[in-house]
Amino acid sequence: MSDDILSQDEIDALLGASSSEPGSEEETEAFDLRPVGGTVEAAMGKTATALGIMMQAEGKAAVKELAIAPLRELHQTLQGPLVAVEGTLQGALDGMIITLMPLETAVKLAALARGEDPASAGGEDLGGLHDLAVEMAGHLAEAFSSQLGQELHLDAAEPVQVNWDSAEAPPVPVGADEEVVFARHTLEVGSVSFDVMHIIPRETAEAVVSALAGGVSGAAEAAAAGEAALAAASAGRTVPRVAGGKVKGRTNGGAQIAAAEFAPLGSAHPAGTMGNIDLLLDVPLEVTVELGRTRMQIREVLELGRGSIVELEKVAGEPVEIYVNGKLIAKGEVVTIDENFGVKITDIVSRRERVASFS
């Protein structure tokens, strides 16, 4: 056994040993992490893909830790300067999901949102991070809505810097003794990595599992639905030790350790909405690149002739807009490819801007 990694055999051995200890004082009702863990990883897969589009590189997500434990047992993991985004669930369920990331990751993501190179980002400038936080919250809401088969929204608050280096109360709206589901993922986009964590109070996680059980008739089926949400490439994946390697509820009082047995990325779709997406892949869409606009009187239009110059309301060097079926989806810069014009995409508009374009 290595210092940092538990193999699946070692995890199974721990779980088996713990079940043979009757009357353990810290024994609590077991909690199946698969429905929640699989859904969160599905959302992180979508986020990694979106970041990959922005950076023109391949994006992928990998689960690093998945556990349930009292928040205070995650104290060591959550030390150092962090940025927290509190998300409030609305719709089919009530509750919260808190997204945490090291300050370094937050600065990189903020730079990416501003159209800068995240690999060279430094300092503490978080300008633009909220737009990406809203996008990430949207991916989480979509993933949970997909599993529940019901509409669910996650409103992301403004990012705030927090620090839990002291032994005082945690800097998030969760009690230190409250059990939470903790998930940590690494998003690899090209040569840049982003470390993202999520904290979900057990009450919220249980509500998700309960809703899944009600929707698919049975807790076993609910666990299977969460597994199918992402069944990740669990082949060859190991689960790092959490909170000293103790397994809450079935061993000697630490965090519950579960193998990341998720379904492949993109395998789960909202019932009745995404299952037949392949049928739409050949539907043609009109893509328009707008260099600029101006307003002219009829008199001025009638006076136009060969050699006339029309001044546009756009500064030279400013990005051009890219529309799909009349809806703004991206911005870019004009390039030449051999003898043809092209557009290099430099920015994908935020979810908020896309929603505004539909209004």
How much of the chain, in percent, has pLDDT values that exceed 70?
Answer: 70
Q: Which CATH architecture has domain 284-358?
A: Roll (2.30)
- For strand 340-348 and strand 327-337, is the pairing parallel, antiparallel, or unpaired? antiparallel
Distances (CA, A) of 260 to 53, 117, 221: 26, 32, 17
Angle of helix 129-148 versus helix 34-55 axis, rounded to 10: 140
For residue 66, is pLDDT > 70? yes
d(CA 334, CA 2): 52
Which CATH number is 5-257 given? 3.40.1550.10
Radius of gyration of the chain (CA): 24
**Arithmetic mean of pLDDT, 231-255:** 38
Residue 316, CA distances (Å) to 149, 174, 319, 342, 344 in order: 47, 50, 9, 17, 16
Q: What is the pTM of this model?
A: 0.55
How many CA within 13 A on the CB side of residue 37?
32
Q: Which residues pair with 155 in a beta bridge?
A: 88
pLDDT computed for residue 94 by the predictor: 84
Residue 22 confidence (pLDDT) above 70: no
The mean pLDDT value for 192-210 works out to: 89
> Between 23 and 185, where is the model more confident?
185
pLDDT at position 5: 58
Mean pLDDT of the chain: 75
Q: Measure the CA–CA gap between 240 and 4, rounded to whole angstroms.
A: 6
Query: Could you tell me the pLDDT band of residue 278, with boundaries at 50, 70 and 90?
Result: low
The ranges assigned to domains in the chain are 5-257, 284-358
